[in-house]
Amino acid sequence: MSTQHGLFLLAHRDAQASPHDTELALRVFFPVQADAYLGALGRGEDILVQRGGRDALGALACGLWAQGLRTEVRALAGHAA
């Protein structure tokens, strides 16, 4: 039994200086949720965007990082894959 993980958005490197760039980066990966995620990031919230295995989430995390988004993969308590 393996632990399920979650990929969280934490911030964007240019959020203060260029909120438009943050919005564009979010729209690349989350076109439907971009507005909600932008608001949540503005409030300092961590956003769970995907669940799955650690290795699978790592690939998405790399793509998000390339767009300037800070991410973290965390084990989800009480969830097994």
Distance CA 13, CA 54 (A): 23
Spans of the chain, pLDDT less than 70 = 1, 15, 78-81
The total number of structural domains that make up the chain: 1
Give CA 44 to chain center in angstroms.
Answer: 13
Helix (H) or strand (E) holding 6: strand 3-12
Q: Which domain holds residue 35?
A: 3-80
pLDDT at residue number 1: 55
Q: What is the CATH number of the domain that holds 43?
A: 3.30.1390.10
Distance CA 34, CA 79 (A): 26
Q: What pTM did the predictor assign?
A: 0.85
pLDDT at residue number 6: 96
Exposed/middle/buried for 13, CB within 10 Å: 0-12, 13-18, 19+? middle
At 7, is the secondary structure helix, strand, or coil? strand
Per the CB < 8 A criterion, the answer to whether 52 and 8 are in contact is: no
The 10s digit of each residue's pLDDT in 8-28 is 999 888 767 777 888 888 999
